[in-house]
Amino acid sequence: MRPGVLWLMAGLSLLFSGCALQPPESNEPPPLSEASFNSRILELQDTLTQQCGANAQHQDQQLSQQKTLTADVREVGSLVRLLRSDIQELEARGEEPIVIREECNIDESLETKATLGRNEWVGLPSIGTYLKARVDSGANTSSLSASEITRFERDGEDWVRFKLALNDDDVVVESLRDEWIEAPVERRVRIVQASGEASRPVISLLMTLGPIRENVQFTLNDRTHLDYPILLGRRFLMDIAIIDVAQNYIHERPEFPGGEPAEQAAEDEAVDQDDTEE
């Protein structure tokens, strides 16, 4: 055999024998030494000790609070028993206990609110007229007397067209009595009555009343069977006004082109009767 072939066979033999001597790979973790095991056990023991200590401290706090509350309850009970004993002693003598009432503090926020009478003049600048209004905290939403209410659409939004529903003796700028008024619909409210349910549109109008100048939401419905074409409810009164039911027409009637001067309002106010409304 040739020497080159012998050398090749010897190399292959050493290669295969080297591969056979390599140990197989393993994914198992190395064995835990005794020192590492003891260290881990000590860490767990310290953690449990800390948690138990925190729980014990929390329980001690709760127990202390419970003792304090129990003492307070016992003290209140003792005071009540002493008070009852004093009252019984006074009753036995035929005397009545004297009740001392603490004076009420006037809410400072009332000083910033306007005072309104049970009836007031209001102005509607966007319409151009004044009207009489009943001020009633028993009603939720304010109401404006309207007739011929017609719904239509403008620029994709709901609008209504209507006229003021007034009686012959209602005071108004006469040129606007039969004028059409248009306004966007803010929302609709459902009214439940004995005759059934009805849906009414709600519009927003700028309104003036004395020092107040606010956008007010009104439901539109025919109020000609009532004494006042406008009703002002809680939504309007909230945070801005209070009612003094002993007074009437506290604030001056606003003036509008074509209307009567404010000093002549007293004649129109005198015809009002002290009636009650919804």
222 burial (CB, 10 Å; 0-12 / 13-18 / 19+) is middle
Q: Is the pLDDT of residue 14 over 80?
A: no
The DSSP bridge pattern shows strands 142-154 and 212-221 to be parallel
Q: Which residues pair with 215 in a beta bridge?
A: 206
Among candidates 127, 230, 233, which has minimal Cα distance to 180?
127
* The pair of three-digit structure tokens given for residue 155, joined into one six-digit string: 């620029």
Q: What is the pLDDT of residue 19?
A: 47
CATH top-level class of 109-270: mainly beta
Q: Is 231 helix (H, G, I), strand (E, B) or coil?
A: strand
pLDDT in tens, 42-51: 888 888 888 8
CA-CA-CA-CA torsion sign (148, 153, 155, 156): positive
pLDDT tens by residue, 206-221:
999 999 999 999 999 9
Check the CA dihedral 12-15-20-25 and report its sign. negative
The contacts found for 42-46 with CB under 8 angstroms, 24 or more apart, are: none
Residue 8: C-alpha distances to residues 11, 17, 266 (Å): 5, 14, 133
Give 88-121 pLDDT, tens digit per residue: 776 666 666 666 655 555 555 567 889 999 999 9
The three-class DSSP label of residue 7 is: helix
Q: For residue 132, is pLDDT > 90?
A: yes
Cα-Cα-Cα-Cα dihedral sign, residues 152, 157, 158, 159: negative
Alpha helix stretches (DSSP H) within the chain: 3-21, 34-92, 234-237, 265-270
Helix, strand, coil share (%) of the chain residues, nearest 5: 35, 30, 35
**Ramachandran angles phi, psi of 228, nearest 5°:** -130, 130
Calculate what percentage of the chain has a pLDDT beyond 70: 78
Identify residue 162 by its one-letter amino acid code: F
Average pLDDT, the chain: 82
The residue that leads in pLDDT, 191 or 233, is 233
